[in-house]
């Protein structure tokens, strides 16, 4: 079974600085998707960024980028020029690319990292 | 295009009552997923449905929990005879019909409190 591990329960960053959130995962599959979701105090789950495992190029979305290391099964999120609105829980998630059997595309989440942004 | 809608946003039930949570997917989305988030935890998959079919319910407790996604109307997650341990946030997500590679978009969640 696949697992997702976020080893940093809490992180803190100064406004305008850069922070990196760690995520590792365990899988025997070669084709899958990885996601970072943000959950602010409103508790709405918001997609931050997505990576297809078959793509070597790291995904970027404005100030958010990932460092995807497939061999190491690592998928870290870098937030540049941190803003107060970035304060939230961040969840890393894995999704199999299989569409049969037990893995029908459901997301497997880590336990999250709580990010605080200091003004 | 309206996002995923869930109602109610907050639900209070006494032990032994029934809870019904509703989810309307985004327009054009025919795949619906339900997840549960316990306090201080990540989301855990419960059930995956397409219109009129349960595709994967491997994450759903065998007793008291059921889900449906009828041809017309929202998806319903039903919890019978609720217990205090059912208190959690329940999230619904939807994705388009084009397959498992599609991103899931989440609703705002329903916070269930069992007294």
Task: Say how many CB pairs under 8 Å bridge A and B.
Answer: 67
Residues 6+ apart with CB under 8 A from A106: A95, B33, B45, B48, B56, B59
Q: Determine the 3-state secondary structure of B33 from DSSP.
A: strand
Q: Could you say which residues of chain B have pLDDT below 70?
A: 1, 97-101
Instruction: Note the pLDDT of residue B104.
Output: 87
| Across A102-108, average pLDDT | 70
Interface contact B100-A105, CB threshold 8 A: yes
Percent of chain A predicted with pLDDT > 90:
75
Residue A104 has pLDDT above 70, yes or no: no
B51: Cα separation from own chain's centroid: 14
Looking at per-residue pLDDT, the higher value among A81 and B96 belongs to A81
Looking at per-residue pLDDT, the higher value among A98 and B4 belongs to B4
Residue A4 with chain B: CB contacts under 8 Å: 42
Tell whether B75 is within 8 A of chain A (Cβ). no
User: Nearest-CA distance from B86 to chain A in Å?
Assistant: 18
Q: Where are the domains of chain A?
A: 3-98+108-118
Residue A2 has pLDDT above 70, yes or no: yes
Instruction: Note the pLDDT of residue B1.
Output: 53
Of A47, A50, A106, the CB nearest to B33: A106
Instruction: Note the pLDDT of residue B97.
Output: 65
Q: Is the dihedral of CA A29, A34, A40, A44 positive or negative?
A: negative
Residues 6+ apart with CB under 8 A from B115: B12, B13, B14, B15, B84
| CATH class held by domain A3-98+108-118 | mainly beta
Residue A103 has pLDDT above 80, yes or no: no
A46-62 as b/e: b if 16+ CB within 10 A: ebbbbbebeeeeebeee
Instruction: Note the pLDDT of residue A102.
Output: 46
Tell whether A14 is within 8 A of chain B (Cβ). no
Interface contact A37-B56, CB threshold 8 A: no
Residue B93 with chain A: CB contacts under 8 Å: 45, 107
Of A97, A104, A109, the CB nearest to B56: A104
Interface contact B108-A99, CB threshold 8 A: no
Task: Give the residue among A8, A10, A15, A6 at the shortest CA–CA distance from A88.
Answer: A10
Q: Which residue of B has its CA nearest to A43?
A: B108
Residue-wise pLDDT tens digits, A40-67: 988 889 999 999 998 888 999 999 999 9
| Across A71-83, average pLDDT | 97
């Amino acid at each position: 079974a696949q697992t997702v591990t976020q080893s940093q329960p809490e992180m803190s960053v100064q406004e305008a600085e850069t922070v990196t959130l760690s995520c590792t995962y365990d899988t025997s599959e070669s084709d899958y998707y990885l996601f970072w979701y943000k959950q602010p105090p409103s508790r709405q789950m918001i997609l931050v960024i997505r990576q297809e495992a078959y793509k070597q190029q790291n995904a970027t979305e404005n100030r958010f980028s990932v460092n995807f290391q497939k061999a190491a099964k690592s998928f870290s999120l870098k937030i540049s020029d941190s803003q107060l609105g970035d304060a939230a829980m961040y969840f890393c998630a894995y999704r199999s690319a299989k569409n049969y059997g037990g893995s029908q595309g459901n997301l497997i989440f880590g336990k999250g990292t709580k990010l605080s942004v200091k003004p | 295009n309206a996002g995923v809608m869930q109602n109610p946003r907050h639900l209070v039930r006494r032990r032994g009552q029934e809870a019904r949570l509703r989810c309307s997917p985004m327009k054009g989305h025919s795949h619906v997923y339900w997840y549960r988030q316990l306090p201080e935890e990540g989301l855990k998959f419960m059930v995956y449905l397409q219109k009129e079919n349960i595709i994967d319910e491997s994450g759903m407790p065998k007793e008291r929990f059921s889900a449906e996604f009828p041809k017309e109307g929202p998806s319903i997650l039903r919890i019978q005879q609720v217990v205090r341990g059912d208190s959690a946030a329940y999230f619904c997500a939807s994705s388009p019909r084009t397959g498992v590679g599609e991103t899931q978009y989440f609703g705002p969640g329903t916070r269930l409190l069992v007294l």
